Amino acid sequence: MKESNLIKICLLAVFLGVILMFISTKMIGSEEVKIEDISEDSNYVKITGKIIQVSESKSGTTFLKLKDGTGSINAVIFKDSIKSLEKVKEGTVIEVTGKIEKYKGEMEILVNSIN
């Protein structure tokens, strides 16, 4: 087999692998959890909660405190990561999806999407 054909086959395999990984992560989605069930082992989650506090830093990062019937958690929305923050108002119930991280000893969600 010619070296150029082998390179083409390898590139095609890599490309198909990346596409399959993307599709599988979209199909699996994020696990919807209650705030009390979030742990350091949690990765990407979906949370539905009421916004009880909203603040914004000088750099444009938005900070929320979300509460459901089981607890509360801080949520961080980095500038330009969400197209519209129209739904982000105190008292509004929203669904957020994002990555769980520990910051200063507390769990928080780095928001990727709001529904």
pLDDT tens-digit readout, 37-82: 998 888 889 999 999 999 999 999 999 999 999 999 999 999 887 7
Q: What is the mean pLDDT of the chain?
A: 88
Contact in structure between 30 and 46 (CB atoms under 8 Å):
yes
Both tokens assigned to 54: 């909203």
110 CB contacts (<8 Å, ≥6 apart)? Answer: 75, 76, 78, 98, 99, 100, 101
pLDDT the model gives residue 80: 82
pLDDT the model gives residue 25: 58
pLDDT band at 24 (very low <50, low <70, confident <90, very high): low
Mean pLDDT of 18-22: 76
Contact in structure between 78 and 65 (CB atoms under 8 Å):
no
